[in-house]
Amino acid sequence: MQKGRNKIAVDYAKCGDGHGVDPRACGICLRICVPAVFLLHQTLGVEDDPKDPRCWRVSPYWTDLCSRCLKCVEACPEKAVTVSW
pLDDT tens-digit map of 22-68: 899 999 999 999 999 999 988 876 666 767 767 788 999 999 999 99
Query: Which residues have CB under 8 Å from 25's CB, separation 6+?
Result: none
With b for 16 or more beta-carbon neighbours within 10 A and e for fewer, the 17-43 pattern comes to beebbebeebbbbbeebeeebbeeeee
Give me the domain span that covers residue 37: 7-84
Residue 72 in any domain: the answer is yes
Supply the pLDDT for residue 5: 84
Domain count, the chain: 1
What CATH number does residue 78 fall under? 3.30.70.20
Residue 2 in any domain: the answer is no
Supply the pLDDT for residue 30: 96
